[in-house]
Amino acid sequence: MAKGITERAKDYSQWYIDVVKQADMAEHSPVKGCMVIKPTGYGIWEKIQQNLDRMFKETGHVNAYFPLLIPESFLKKEAEHVEGFAPECAVVTHGGGKKLEEPLVVRPTSETIIWDSYRNWISSYRDLPLLINQWANVLRWEMRTRLFLRTTEFLWQEGHTAHATHEEAEEEAYRMVQVYRRFAEEFLAMPVLVGRKTDKEKFAGALHTYCIEALMQDGKALQAGTSHHLGTNFAKAFDVQFQDRDSERKYVHATSWGVSTRLIGGMIMTHSDDSGLVIPPRLAPVPVVIVPIWRDDDQMALTLAKARHITEGWDKLFYKIDDRDQYKPGYKFNEWELKGIPIRIELGPRDVENNQVVAVRRDTGEKVTLSADGLRENLEKMLDDIQANLFQRAKDRTEASTHTVDSYDEYKERIKGGGFFRVFLNHADPKVEERLQGDTKSTIRCIPFDAPDEEGPCMITGAPCKGRVVAAQSY
């Protein structure tokens, strides 16, 4: 347990706030609900961007940029969409010293402005598919905010694709939620449920929404990414048609999909502990920090020289030598632990003598003495091992916290303890979800793709249901 960090067991919310603060990741800004992402936090976002962007490009997508401001009238063209987003919008009414003829909203998401452009970009089947992604900031006015998890302004990517057929759009929506799953597992080391949202929880304007859902350490679910099959809703709203191979004019089928800086919140709440942040190695801007230890100038010269010698030819993004003279080693150890650096290397005069270093793993706290020869390869193995261990630990925890329940009374009792609950619920009836939420503050998180073929009575109404859904309390 570290100074300045409340124990998880004592107050989980405060623990989260403390970790973000002590690891120096972000802070609230003077503008209500907005955050400042500090360099330590932004460095992780850059790693998320780089890796996701590569995965998008490998699946054929290109990046573009659409305007921040959207005419209010655009938002109104898709009925469900405006209902979902209008209450959350920030509105620009004045520009260049004058009142605007039409108010402009700061984008809460970009379907409308993008489909207005697509109308001019698509005329033939030859123009399809159109596979575009945008990295951008968006604004949704929020009443209760939490750094990274829910903020009025956040950073995200939004993919917007156009297809000739329903089937191709469906494939794309499915492909992208699987890209998110793979990213969550392989980079965030965060196991996720993958499935479909109920109609009540789907995106405003979508046919259906796919999602990844992760379970945080306090037993609450976090929606970490969504991929929407929009059907022809936006094509109809913005009159986007194409001439198909058969010479007929048809409406274009759409998807959109996004993840945001919320992933950083998910990463924190999946792995961090009472000593501070824990960063999965594959998202660490610098995975290894070397702390030379000295008592006097001679030892300083000796250990620093050894640190520089060992790291000769190493990639600068792989390590950092902490050569600050104004801080003691203990202070530095604590700082790097708080900041979640995967491996800390301690290098004292005795280690120099023995041509060795002490490597300390952030995930387990384990200390290992390693030869200075072949160190780089051994550190890389250790980083792989940390990445795998973090994932396995989170997976074990998620599985241990996933319960199968059939009685609503049992559910109402056990939901208080948190976790994913595999239950029968008749979500075709919207009242069922309303009652669930009213009674238990929990919601259906998703209808998992891999739900076994089961039948049973809705735990609230008794109506027959096919397949269990997963319910949980959530962020």
Per CB under 8 A, residues contacting a second copy are: 27, 29-31, 34-39, 42-43, 45-46, 62-71, 74, 86-97, 103-104, 106, 113, 116-117, 120, 126, 132, 136-137, 139, 141-143, 152-153, 155, 326
Q: 420-423 and 402-404 as β-strands: parallel, antiparallel, unpaired?
A: parallel
Query: Helix, strand, or coil here: 408?
Result: helix
Of the candidates 128, 230, 220, the one whose C-alpha atom is nearest the C-alpha of residue 176 is 230
Q: Which residue number, 94 or 249, has a Cβ lying nearer to a second copy? A: 94
- Decide whether 99 or 249 has the Cβ nearer to a second copy: 99
42/187 with CB nearer a second copy: 42
Provide the minimum distance between the beta carbon of 141 and a second copy in the complex, in angstroms, as a whole number.
3
- Do 61 and 67 contact (CB within 8 A), yes or no? no
The strand pair at 221-231 and 253-260 is best described as antiparallel
User: E strands, 181-321, where?
Assistant: 193-196, 208-215, 221-231, 241-243, 249-251, 253-260, 288-292, 319-321
In the complex, minimum distance from the CB of residue 100 to a second copy, in angstroms, rounded to a whole number: 9
Q: Which is nearer to a second copy, 3 or 94 (CB)?
A: 94
Q: Shortest approach of a second copy to residue 260 CB, angstroms?
A: 12
- State the Cα–Cα distance between residues 401 and 218, nearest whole angstrom: 10
CA distance 320 to 313: 13
Q: Which is nearer to a second copy, 64 or 301 (CB)?
A: 64
Check if the beta carbon of residue 315 is closer than 8 Å to that of residue 371: no
CB-wise, 109 or 442, nearer to a second copy? 109
Shortest separation between residue 361's beta carbon and a second copy, angstroms? 25
Closer residue to a second copy, CB minimum distance, 60 or 365: 60
Q: Shortest distance, CB of residue 82 to a second copy, whole angstroms? A: 13
Please answer whether residues 303 and 347 qualify as being in contact, where contact means their C-beta atoms are separated by less than 8 angstroms: yes
Smallest distance, a second copy to C-beta of residue 245, A: 11
**Smallest gap from residue 353 Cβ to a second copy (A):** 32
Which residue in 110, 71, 63 sits closest to 92, CA to CA?
Answer: 71
Q: Helix (H, G, I), strand (E, B), or coil: what is residue 237?
A: helix
- Please answer whether residues 217 and 397 qualify as being in contact, where contact means their C-beta atoms are separated by less than 8 angstroms: yes
Q: Shortest distance, CB of residue 317 to a second copy, whole angstroms?
A: 9
Looking at the Cβ atoms of 38 and 150, the one nearer to a second copy is 38
Give DSSP secondary structure letters for 323-377: --SSS-HHHHHHHHHHTT-SEEEEE-HHHHHTTEEEEEETTT--EEEEESTTHHH
Strand order in the sheet with 288-292: 319-321, 288-292, 343-347, 356-361, 367-371
Nearest to 189 by CA among 262, 278, 258: 278
State the nearest-atom distance from the C-beta of 440 to a second copy, in Å.
27
CB of 87 to a second copy, least distance (A): 5
Of 38 and 146, the one with the shorter C-beta distance to a second copy is 38
91/305 with CB nearer a second copy: 91
Handedness of CA 363, 367, 372, 374 (dihedral sign): negative
**C-alpha–C-alpha distance, residues 29 and 38, integer Å:** 11
